[in-house]
Chain A
């Protein structure tokens, strides 16, 4: 069965510091993977996606993610965090019929 684990419930980083949010997935076939961001009270905005090809994926707002099949991971990274990046981040895997299975999310706090 498909599932996504985001081990970190809450992460706090200083503005300008680097960021890595962890995501591990379970899926029997080649996964389609996504990272979404959600600001308080808002819907989900797509940051980036991996379908196939290059395992390092570039997204919006300076984010990137690397697909590592051997580790069943799809970690999200950003070299320098801005205060506006404070939000909830969700990793998701497509369940084969274009339905998404989401992790429980990681809440990012950015301190000055």
Chain B
């Protein structure tokens, strides 16, 4: 158990819809990162939030956005869903932005039809 939880566990949406995924970090962790893991692939970095500000972004379009809240929770929002957005979405929390181990949640599996 990492202490990182995600909701929902599974989600089905249709193309063009919007989705919000939620993550609760370990207490005291001020950094959260989100990753997308397509089937049969390794996770890919979407973005990171540090103290409620975006602190780095991978190669994902602006329709992927996030929020981080003072209570160690965070959200990943995806607008205008596309079929290729179907994946396992993982959040990971860490105690700081440098040289810190990231602890992953169990993920949310999103299916876009």
**Which residues of A are in contact with B by a Cβ distance under 8 Å?**
4, 32, 34, 36, 41-46, 49, 51, 90, 92, 94-95, 97-105
Q: B19 interface residue, CB < 8 Å from A?
A: no
**Between-chain CB contacts (< 8 Å), 24 pairs:** A36-B104, A43-B4, A43-B6, A43-B90, A43-B106, A44-B90, A45-B2, A46-B103, A90-B42, A90-B43, A98-B33, A98-B96, A98-B97, A99-B33, A99-B45, A99-B58, A100-B33, A100-B35, A100-B45, A100-B92, A101-B45, A102-B42, A104-B41, A104-B42
| Size class of the B contact interface (CB-based, 8 Å) | 20 to 34
Q: Is B66 an interface residue (CB 8 A)?
A: no
Per-position binary interface string of chain B over residues 26-50, scored 1 when its CB falls under 8 Å from any chain A CB and 0 otherwise: 0000010101000011111100100
A42 to B2, CA, bound (A): 12
Give the docked Cα–Cα distance between A90 and B106 (Å).
15
When the two chains form their complex, are residues B102 and A100 in contact, meaning their CB atoms are under 8 A apart?
Answer: yes
Contacts A49-B101, A98-B94 hold; do A43 and B42 have CB atoms under 8 A apart? no
- B43 in complex: contacting residue of A41, A49, A98, A102, CB < 8 Å: A102
Beyond A42-B107, A97-B55, A98-B48, whether A103 also contacts B42 by CB under 8 A is: yes
Pairwise interchain contact B105-A43, C-beta atoms closer than 8 A: yes
CB neighbours of A104 from chain B (8 A): 40-42
> CA separation between A94 and B48, bound complex, in Å?
13
A76, B70: Cα distance in complex, Å: 38
Q: Given the interface contacts A42-B106, A102-B43, does A97 sit within 8 Å of B97 by beta carbon?
A: yes
A43, A49, A101: which contacts B104 (Cβ < 8 A)?
Answer: A43
- Quick one: CB contact mask for B71-113 with A, threshold 8 Å, 1 for yes? 0000000000000000000101010111111111111010000
A43 with B31: CB separation less than 8 A? no
Most buried by B among A4, A32, A36, A98: A98
Chain A proximity of B73: nearest CB distance (Å)? 17
Q: Is B56 an interface residue (CB 8 A)?
A: yes
